Structure 1
Amino acid sequence: MNAPGLPHTPPNAVGAEQALLGAALHNAEALDRARDHVRTEDFYDDVHRQLFEAMCRRRDEGEVIDWRLLTAILGEVDLGGVKTSTYLAKLAAEAITVVGAPGYARLIAEAARMRRVLETAQAAVARMTDGSISDPAEYATHMIATLDEVASAGLAEHARRISVGDGAYAVLVRVDDTRKGRAPRGVPYGLPKLDADTLGMRPSQFVVLAGRPGMGKTTVALHVALNAARRSGAVGFFSLEMGADELSERVLAAVAYDPRAVSPLTYRSIAEARGLSDTDLQRLVDAQDDVAKLPLWIEPQVGLTLGQIAARARQMRLRAERRGFPLVAIIIDHIGLIRPSKRYAGNRVQEMTEISSGLKGLAKELGIPVLGLSQLNREAEKRQDKRPQLADLRESGSIEQDADVVLGLYREAYYLDRQPDLSDEEQDRLARCQNELEIEILKQRSGPTNRITCFCDIACNVLAEAAR
């Protein structure tokens, strides 16, 4: 029984299905062009679905496609008052040209996606009215995941294959633009040496920022986010650990930082809101005015699934485009807090494989870099040299494999501060490295590995390249 206001006939493109199948009967090249855009299950009519599947199978086997052979395969049956052979002959007589095949294929696929949306909505109405939903939040998550598949299928139209010639030409255009100063190499990290070694965060890259607790992952991530929002476009920051207030305190501390100030304006002092001078308050007001102009959007909700992150990232992209600038990066703090699907419940390695491959897929789909923060396991603590290694990544098999770039963070001062009975030499070293942070390129698919030393004031959430 149809819900009130809903159509009795689901969205379909039966006419496009007939035209496309007729074109394939005339010229198998129409089938090749259509398969880039439509799948067998996208066809609304059962007979058309069988015909398309049979055509694809014969094409893959190198066999001829014509209406007589298809009649033999399907059998001479009654198709609603018309015999199979008569129906196929009619399709062939009313066929479109090969050139029109992709357009008709897209119409069929779009109608199929509309049916999926309608089915999801009808199922939700049915379950809500019969009282079978016990947890609205859980069912909403399921609906988001289902609708996200529809959205992904639609956006995939923009990522079709290209010839190597077209790809090479695009590279040459980019090289020429870069040499003439017309195009950036990638979204900059905001650290000149790191940007030179990596060419910035490049489109479709999955970048992992890894470190043990206390190494400054959020400090680095916010530095990257602020820099990218100032210089390149909109940035989405998914904070799965900190609330919006806590993250905003860190942002204000970073923007209000003044190395000449008598007393530092830390994010802790901002949170406590005590002992702040009139000068400090003015610095905070100026910092707020500055960040208010930046397209840096924070999503502070905990327990987001990969599908929810993807859906909100797409919303951010549309929001940015409406405002006249691009969405240039997504940052996730941190990967380990993404709520996995129930597909691999209890198997953490498989859950992380699904998440890391999904983040790489999101980067490719949106055509922007995705920066994910990741905790290292405790193996580093057992070594004398506690600098991070690729093997220290939690569930490293999947993250290490999917990441295009892995950056490891290390602060020697963190360990010296916690070491009892420091020797004179160790105390001297602590004084020298108190505000040092090492960023090591542990992996880069198309560039060097290297170690960069930065100035880092963790309390003020400030990062800068160390003076040489």
Structure 2
Amino acid sequence: MDPQLTTIGDSLVRSDERMLTGRNAAGRVWKTGFNGLDPAIGGGMRAGSLVLLAGPQGMGKSTFALQIARNNAATGRPVLYFSYEHDAEDISQKLLALEAGELDESDQVRVNNIRSIFDDLWVSSLEHRLESVPAGIEALSRMERYAHLLFVHRSTGTRTGIPAIQETIASVQEATGQVPLVVVDYLQKVKSSQTDDEARSTEVVEGLKDLAIDIGAPVLAIAAADKTALRTGTRMRASDLRGSSALAYEADVVMVLANKFDIVARHHLTYDLNNAERFKEWAVLTLEKNRFGRDGVVLQFRTRFDQGRYESDGSEVKEQLIDDRVFRD
């Protein structure tokens, strides 16, 4: 019988077996670890779903995605991170800063400090070097608990297409005995046989969606914006993604990050100038599409880019944002 062919009866039997063994929730949902976001998308990222994360350049899309990857690896689930722009050492440095930043109450941890430790020429172990970083040793200890589950693939636009992604997933599954959460950073750099931007995006996003269904795990992909979406005074939408028609159709969840200062209604700045600096410290995450809950949900998270992270506690935005139809005040 064709392995792609099944009956609803077989599906019900498998679902019943998961529920009876207690594997149903854990096996079908991968939590992001961001409070407020998981409940909005059905408890977390669901098996077989394609989740897109978009936003302007410099808005911390990779930071957000890496934090989700770390949150899952820290729970004992393998994660495969396809990185088209950063190598494994750079990612390791950001993770150390993230861990130390969450642990240190003195607020002295910085990504630049961590990077300088890696770059210094004096001969010493990493553990000894981290003694100079607040909570550095404990951060390394925390990171080592999940480091064997967080796989980084140094990807390139000339070599790493859908077939290579499939092969690597199979290798990680064989090594760990579990299907990994897949993160693609970023979608428009995945190797494609097409030359036109729209056609490239269509081929890649359809391939990633099929892949998510085939492996029974979520695929989280960072998506680039069309240049026209980056003009001042506008709020980025799902329709602004490069190759938007295919991305909007295939994706199950589309999340868009923006700096709160850039998209808050101007009257919040006109009457209280102190708001300007305060809003710059916050990112707004909008659920532009959500097959597993209500779309249009708007959450805010405090950014700590100096520590390579976001604060994980999210809350609904109360202020009016540009393009909003109603006031939230």
| TM-score computed with the length of structure 2 as normaliser | 0.80
The letter for the 2-side match of 1:314 is A
Take 2:136 and 2:218, find their aligned partners in 1: how far apart are those partners? 31
Q: Does 1:446 align with 2:292?
A: yes
Change (3 A) 1:319 1:175: closer
> After the TM superposition, which residues 286-301 of structure 1 pair with which residues of structure 2 at under 5 Å, given as runs?
286-294=138-146, 295-301=149-155
Q: Does 1:313 align with 2:169?
A: yes
Structure 1 residues 13-59: Cα deviation after superposition (integer angstroms, max 9, x where no partner): xxxxxxxxxxxxxxxxxxxxxxx43xxxxxxxxxxxxxxxxxxxxxx
Q: Compute the displacement of 1:260 (Å).
A: 5.3
Contact 2:184–2:220 (8 Å) recurs in 1: yes
With over 3 angstroms needed to count, the CA separation of the structure-2 counterparts of 1:278 and 1:351, relative to structure 1, is closer
**Partner residue in 2 for 1:183:** 25
Contact preservation (8 Å) 1:241, 1:337:
no
Q: Is the 8 A contact 1:214 1:414 kept in 2?
A: no
Q: Look up the match of 1:461.
A: 308
Which one has a bigger Cα radius of gyration?
1
Residue matched to 2:228: 379
Question: CA 1:354/1:309 → structure 2, altered by over 3 Å: closer, same or farther?
Answer: same
In structure 1, distance between residues paired with 2:19 and 2:283: 33
Query: RMSD value over aligned CA atoms?
Result: 2.9
Alignment of 1:369-448 (within 5 A): 369-382=218-231, 384-386=233-235, 388-413=236-261, 427-448=273-294
Separation of aligned partners in 2, 1:259 and 1:248: 17
Q: Aligned equivalents of 2:88 and 2:182: distance in 1?
A: 16
Distance 1:440 1:246, change over 3 A: same
Whole-Å separation in 1 of the counterparts to 2:257 and 2:88: 24
Q: Which of 193, 202, 209 pairs up with 2:53?
A: 209
Are the counterparts in 2 of residues 306 and 358 from structure 1 also a CA contact under 8 Å? yes
How far apart are residue 267 of structure 1 and its match?
A: 1.4
CA–CA distance in structure 2, aligned partners of residues 335 and 391 of structure 1: 16
Greater RCO (CA < 8 Å, at least 6 residues apart): 2
The residue that corresponds to 2:95 in the other structure is 251
Residue in 2 that maps onto 1:167: 11
Instruction: Indicate whether 1:281 and 2:133 are aligned.
Output: yes
1: CA distance between counterparts of 2:144 and 2:103? 23
Aligned-partner Cα distance in 2 for 1:193–1:169? 33
Secondary structure of the equivalent of 2:181? strand
Question: Per-residue deviation at 1:455?
Answer: 2.1
Query: Counterparts of 1:360 and 1:467 in 2: how far apart (Å)?
Result: 30
Structure-2 change in CA distance of 1:391 and 1:284 (3 Å) = same
The correspondence for 1:349, drawn from 198, 202, 213, is 198
Residue of structure 1 in register with 2:124 after alignment: none
Evaluate the alpha carbon distance shift between residue 460 and residue 282 of structure 1 in structure 2; reply closer, same or farther with a 3 A threshold. closer
CA deviation after TM superposition for structure 1 residue 217, in Å: 0.4
Shift of 1:283: 2.4
Q: What letter corresponds to residue 25 of structure 2 in structure 1?
A: A
Shift of 1:169: 5.4
Paired with 1:400 and 1:168, the residues of 2 have a C-alpha distance of: 30
1:197 is aligned to 40
Secondary structure class of the residue paired with 1:204: coil
1:331 aligns with 183
- Tell me if structure 1 keeps the 8 A contact 2:103–2:135: no
The aligned amino acid for 1:437 is A
The 1-side partners of 2:166 and 2:24 are apart by: 31
Assess if the C-alpha contact under 8 Å between 2:197 and 2:242 holds in 1: no
Does structure 1 residue 265 correspond to structure 2 residue 121? no
Counting matched residue pairs gives 296
- CA apart distance, 1:301: 3.2
Q: Against the structure 1 CA distance between its residues 347 and 188, is the aligned structure 2 distance closer, same or farther, given a 3 Å change threshold? A: same
Q: CA deviation at 1:415?
A: 8.3
1:430 aligned partner, one-letter code: A
Residue type at the aligned position of 2:239: A
Aligned residue for 1:443, secondary structure, equals strand
Deviation of 1:359 (Å): 0.6
Q: For residues 257-301 of structure 1, give each alpha carbon's deviation from its aligned partner in whole angstroms, at most 9, with x where no partner exists.
A: 147543432212222339999754362332222222211111123
Which position in structure 2 is the counterpart of 1:227? Answer: 71
Question: How many angstroms apart in 1 are the aligned matches of 2:129 and 2:77?
Answer: 34
Deviations for 1:180-221, whole angstroms, at most 9, x for unmatched residues? x97336100001311111121111111111111011101110
Pair 1:272–1:427, CA change in 2 (3 A) = farther
- Determine whether 1:367 maps to 2:177: no
Aligned to 1:40: none
Cα displacement string for residues 379-435 of structure 1 (whole angstroms, at most 9, x for unaligned residues): 33336242x21111111111111111111111134789xxxxxx7757412332233
Q: Which runs of 5+ in 2 are unaligned?
A: 121-127, 317-329
Q: 1:174 to 1:385 in 2, by over 3 A?
A: farther
